[in-house]
Amino acid sequence: MTQAIAEIGEDRIQAVMADAGDILLPGPVWLAWRQAGRMIAGAWHEGESLAGAVAASRAGLAGQTADTLEICLTQNWQPVAAQELGQAFANSARGLTGIGIRFGDRLTRIAPTTSIASNRAPLREIERLALLNRLTPAAFLEKAEILRFEAAQFLIIGDRCVRLWRGGQVVPPDAVGPDMLRDTIGGLSGWMLANLHSDGRMTYKYWPSRGVEAKSDNTIRQFMATVALGRIARRSGQAADAEAARRNLAYTLGKYYARAEGVGTIILDGKAKLGAMALAALAVLEFREAGLIGAETHQEEYDGLCAGVAHLWQTDGAFRTFLVPADRNDNQNFYPGEALLFWAALHRQTRDPVLAGKCLTSFRYYRDWHMAQPNPAFVPWHSQACVMLHEDLGHDDLARFVLDRNDWILEMQQWGGRLHPDFEGRFYNPARPDFGPPHASSTGVYMEGLADAWRLARRLGDSPRAARYALALRRGLRAIRQLQFRDREIDAFYISRPEAVMGGLRTEAYNNEIRVDNVQHCLMALLKLEAEPDFPWQEGTRA
């Protein structure tokens, strides 16, 4: 962004709105009036004067009442060649730069705040126009001119003016601390409880821009949410939270539990996954330990699930990852770690030496398997299981593996340099796209493993390592807070159903889709930090 609009401050915009000043426009301006999140009038305005554009826009309200005005000042409109579209409109620029699409005698302009509010990537706008003109995207691009432009974003709320960055505000690193931890946990917990329906069903995926739930579902993420609800109830000690957790557990078991091959399983769309079985069993185990249900509640399902997990274990330590279909054995980076976490928790309760032996056999098998083909998705599940087993069994190789692998995970975290400030603290390696895109759930689950690795390093007296892990966790909290819908008037200015989103986590800064595992992974990581009264918050986010 060049100086002309970068240097325009909130005070100058406020002066225009108060009829006490004006701004000469370097380019077209986008003005959109909203009421309770819904856009009631929006248009591009040409001319030299912002005051004149606002006056014309206000006249277009035709008596309607608005509570918010969205402003995008633009400049530096530049053509983009077809072969450069991917770079010019990369996700990192989404919500910061706008797109113009000239086709025939019509110019379609999409402000960056519109990209955020609609949750449509700029390149998706090209696809939509191609479809409307009954052309393939390639044929459309042969006839169209694509423009890219810079924008400065402002929001007028009553008599306030707020400068926006990607449709929200950047969470400053210096704000990280116990207060932010508490507020973030409160919002995450609140979202989960608000999105638990009266019959016990949990919202799986929600699209804030459309104000509707997706129809998709996932049993592993549903039972992880059940585990999280149990931990919310255990933390709060509130009867209402306990009832909500029990209602969800009863619903999920009632909907997904079945018998197959003589054992209990969790099944959806013809797939019975090891990970879902293990997490469902873990939910029952943790609910019992927390006193949320009786010692024999859901006994039939629990026994069946325990038998199902054991059925998929092999004597060399490997797990089959699907009960149904029996010929599937993929997702080895995920499901065995989830199963091993359940077994570690079960061993802690039973102290069964046979189970301990199976856990250690699986640890050694998967340690070697992982080192032959490292993938970061493997690390957090096995870290949590191995720390628990090390605490209970004391085998040094468990600790060595956890510390080595979490040292490696630190390389995934982004901070500083030329990185956009709203990306700081997330876990993503752009040099390894095969490891997956940046995602709130990834940051959350890496932090779950790191929180346990920090506790392990501290217990072993490895202060330098513990300090590195703590720094990563503090930075990770900044990233989580950035993705949270936390201000109804600012980062949720375009939301028509705020009760469904507040406290929830966007998938990324430029993608507002809320998926339940975005919330529960991050929540469970932060609950671990909250449980540590001597966690070193005072050291901040600077290395």
Widest Cα–Cα separation across the chain: 79
* Residue ranges of domains in the chain: 3-164, 173-536
Structure confidence at residue 461 (pLDDT): 99
The percentage of the chain sitting over the pLDDT mark of 70, rounded to a whole number, equals 99
List pLDDT tens digits, range 47-105: 899 999 999 999 999 889 999 999 999 999 999 999 999 999 999 999 999 999 999 99
Model confidence band, residue 543 (pLDDT cutoffs 50, 70, 90)? confident
Average pLDDT taken over every residue of the chain = 98
419-442: per-residue pLDDT in tens?
999 999 999 999 999 999 999 999
Residues facing residue 97 across a β-bridge: 94, 150
Q: Dihedral sign, CA of 461, 337, 347, 218?
A: positive
Tokens found for residue 101 = 């699409």
For residue range 124-174, what is the model confidence (pLDDT) as tens digits?
999 999 999 999 999 999 999 999 999 999 999 999 999 999 999 999 999
- Per-residue pLDDT at 419: 98
Instruction: Specify the pLDDT at position 4.
Output: 84
Sign of the alpha-carbon torsion through 390, 382, 286, 451:
positive
Please state the rounded mean pLDDT for residues 293-321.
99
pLDDT digits (tens, 9 = 90+) for 181-192: 999 999 999 999
Alpha-carbon distances, residue 344 vs 30, 151, 225, 387, 390 (angstroms)? 56, 52, 19, 9, 10
Say what the pLDDT of residue 2 is. 52
Q: What fold is seen in the domain 173-536? A: Glycosyltransferase (1.50.10)
pLDDT at 524 over 90: yes
pLDDT interval class at 3 (50, 70, 90): low
What is the rounded CA–CA span in Å between residue 533 and residue 367?
A: 32
The Cα 454–Cα 464 span in angstroms is 10
Q: State the pLDDT at residue 312.
A: 99
Contact 148, 80 (CB under 8 A): yes
Contact in structure between 426 and 438 (CB atoms under 8 Å): yes
- Given a cut of 90, whether residue 1 has pLDDT beyond it is no
**Whose CA is closest to 351, among 317, 389, 406, 314?**
389
Residue ranges of the alpha helices (H) in 416-496?
A: 440-459, 463-483
For the chain, the straight-line distance linking the first and the last C-alpha, in angstroms and rounded, comes to 29
| Confidence class for position 377, pLDDT limits 50, 70, 90 | very high
Q: What is the pLDDT of residues 265-303, one digit of tens each?
A: 999 999 999 999 999 999 999 999 999 999 999 999 999
